[in-house]
Amino acid sequence: MDAYVALEGGHVVEARGRVPGSTRGELVFTTAYTGYEESLTDPSYEEQVLTFSYPLIGNYGVREDRFESDRVHPNAVVARELTDEVVEWLDEEDTPAVDHLDTRDLVTDIREGGAMKCGIAVGEDVTEQDALDELDACKGMSEHTEIGEQVSVDEPEHHEGAEGGVDASVTLIDCGAKGSIVDSLNERGADVDVLPHDASVEDVESYDTDVLFISNGPGDPANFEATIELVDHFAGEVPLAGICLGQQIVAEALGGTTEKMDFGHRGVNQPVMDVRTNQVVMTTQNHGYTVDEPGETLEVTQFNVNDDTPEGLDNDELDIITRQYHPEANPGPNDSLDFFDDVLAMTDSAATQTTVTADD
Ligand SMILES: NC(=O)CC[C@H](N)C(=O)O
């Protein structure tokens, strides 16, 4: 099968076609060496084309219990070598895939030129021009203004917490949540109500919310206007938590700003320094935007050792805690799982705060 990958600027790379189809998206890379099932089902990769820099992908098969959602999210997959088992899965999912190209070159291009638009054409009779046509039609990430709609639940879902743990109710705003975030909260005893990304203040008020939690998700945080409004409304009234896109949305809502990074952070060994404990943890990451200015309300409590970008934002008085990386791991290290304990620890002070508001 022929395969062509057209990069922003018009350079076309030839590859071996594994799964046929034509598509486009933002070309990004992850350096994770395991965890392809988790990455490929992570909704934050929606509208992107995922390149694996690790040369062999699929060597331990495909198991559904490792999926982070019910489908593959990247529009296409690029690797040096894909196993037949992964190819079969991607074929079932209608996700075009290519291999046998020099991914070292491609990753170098992305590191130098930044995450870029790309077009992909795979099939018996495809041409370079087909890939270039896809590239022409490719939108930038921030132009996907309805991306929340593509990944969020349509109707609320309830996930019961384990017996004997923390007695708390978390309202999770689903901007494209990974399943492991719900699992991490359920395992600690918390019930989780998952609401659509555009839930209103009234929707949230109809739940018994001890913590309002903003999930990870794809695209530009500025396109999640309804969620930004929710955070603006509930900050100080209920404890707030956020992961990845969630951190960016919380920052946007509370006077901070976000910006697009050159090629982002995607991998499972990103070092993060905690300024309070003076300790470094290894983290899993998958983001192309970052908080630029945190604003007056939020304090940067953790930063990336490689490039100083904010990795953790807190406001102890208002009970707000967010992380840019993925404490739930999957894939990657479990060093920061205690984030979920810290989030649920805020529920004690929640009672006091709600009473104060009610008395006012
Ligand atoms: N994993 C995420 O939540 C990603 C957040 C956002 N879409 C970004 O690229 O920065």
Q: Do residues 272 and 241 make contact, with C-beta atoms less than 8 angstroms apart?
A: no
Distance 247 CA to ligand 1 centre (A): 9
Hey, CA dihedral for 199, 202, 207, 208, is it positive or negative? positive
Ligand 1: nearest atom to the Cα of 217: 3
Distance 322 CA to ligand 1 centre (A): 13
Structural domains in the chain, CATH included, are 2-139 (3.50.30.20), 147-359 (3.40.50.880)
Collect all residues with Cβ–Cβ distance below 8 Å to 289 and sequence separation of at least 6: 220, 221, 245, 248, 258, 259, 260, 261, 264
Residue nearest to atom 3 of ligand 1 (CA): 216
Ligand 1: nearest atom to the Cα of 244: 3
Q: How far apart are CA 143 and CA 240, in angstroms?
A: 28
Six-digit token string for 46: 């929606």
What pLDDT is attached to residue 354?
44
Q: What is the ipTM metric for this complex?
A: 0.98
Q: 71-97 as b/e, with b when 16 or more CB fall inside 10 Å?
A: ebbbbbbbbbbbbeebbebbbeeebbb
Q: Was 254 annotated as part of a binding site?
A: no
Ligand 1 and 289: CB distance under 6 A: yes
Give me the active site residues, please: 244, 326, 328
How many helices (H) and strands (E) the chain has is answered by 10, 19
C-alpha radius of gyration, the chain, whole number: 20
Hey, CA dihedral for 272, 274, 275, 277, is it positive or negative? negative
Q: How far apart are CA 80 and CA 325, in angstroms?
A: 26
| Residue 232 backbone phi and psi in degrees, to 5 | -55, -40
Q: How far apart are CA 117 and CA 113, in angstroms?
A: 11
Q: Do residues 322 and 242 make contact, with C-beta atoms less than 8 angstroms apart?
A: yes
- The whole model's pTM is what? 0.96
Q: Which helix (H) or strand (E) holds 77?
A: strand 76-78
3-state secondary structure of 254: coil
What pLDDT is attached to residue 348?
72
Mean pLDDT in runs of 10 for the chain (360 residues)? Answer: 96 98 98 97 98 98 98 98 98 98 97 97 97 98 98 98 96 98 98 98 98 98 98 98 98 98 98 97 98 98 98 98 98 96 84 42
Q: How far apart are CA 230 and CA 238, in angstroms?
A: 11
Paired with 214 in beta bridges are 173, 242
